[in-house]
Amino acid sequence: MSRWNLPVRVRVAALLGAILLHATGAVAAETGTRIMQSLTEADNDRTVDLRVGESVRVSLPENATTGYRWAVDRLDQAVVEPAGSEQTYPGGAIGSAGHVTFDFRAKKAGSGEIALKYWRHFEGEGSIVKRFRFRLNAKP
- pLDDT tens digits for range 36-71: 899 999 999 999 999 999 999 999 999 888 999 999
The model's pLDDT over 88-125, given as tens digits with 9 standing for 90+, comes to 988 767 777 899 999 999 999 999 999 999 999 999 99
Residue 85 and residue 55: Cα distance in Å, rounded? 12
> SS3 sequence, 34-80?
CCCEEECHHHCCEEEEEECCCEEEEEEEECHHHCCEEEEEEECCCCE
Cα–Cα–Cα angle for 37, 38, 42, rounded to 5 degrees: 130
Whole-angstrom Cα distance, residue 9 to residue 5?
6
Q: Model-level pTM greater than 0.75?
A: no
